[in-house]
């Protein structure tokens, strides 16, 4: 059975044929999945500038720091848990993110206790 490579081995592996090609900050970074509150979820084009502004502004408002211990209990592909300030904001501020495999109280309460979580973000139905 072949073992999957570890993240560290992939990170330290030489990228001989890689040539970085940065894109302009006003170019689309990726397509964000909408929340689907108006029906079927849609793909929303988001630029690098969009995310930089959203993340830095949200980090400032929410006062995220390297002491932030964030529990992500919602699907990470959506904007709210990703960048408002979400996981990207935690990475930007040097904090810790913990991904819950499901949003149930049993799962989340044990993760809160184990990782000393001090921030999470939930929508009313999940609360």
> Which residues constitute the domain of residue 109?
26-34+41-120
- Do the domain assignments include residue 103? yes
Distance between CA atoms of residues 115 and 108, nearest Å: 10
Domains held by the chain: number: 1
Q: Which helix (H) or strand (E) holds 15?
A: none
- Do the domain assignments include residue 9? no
Q: Which residues pair with 44 in a beta bridge?
A: 32
- pLDDT by position in tens, the chain (length 127): 567 778 788 778 787 888 888 889 999 988 887 766 677 878 889 899 988 998 999 999 999 999 999 999 998 877 788 888 999 999 999 999 999 999 899 999 999 999 999 999 888 877 7
Distance between CA atoms of residues 66 and 90, nearest Å: 8
Rg (CA), the chain: 17
End-to-end CA, the chain: 42
């Amino acid at each position: 059975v072949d073992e999957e490579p570890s993240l560290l081995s992939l990170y330290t592996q030489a990228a001989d044929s890689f040539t970085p090609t940065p894109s302009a900050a006003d170019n689309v970074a990726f397509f964000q999945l909408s929340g689907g509150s108006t029906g079927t979820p849609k793909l929303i084009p988001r630029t690098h500038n969009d995310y930089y502004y959203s993340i830095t502004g949200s980090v400032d408002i929410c006062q995220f720091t390297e002491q932030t211990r964030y529990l992500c209990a919602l699907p990470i592909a959506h904007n709210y848990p990703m960048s408002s300030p979400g996981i990207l904001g935690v990475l930007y501020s040097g904090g810790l993110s913990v991904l819950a495999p499901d949003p149930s109280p049993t799962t989340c309460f044990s993760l809160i206790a184990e990782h000393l979580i001090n921030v999470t973000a939930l929508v009313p139905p999940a609360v």
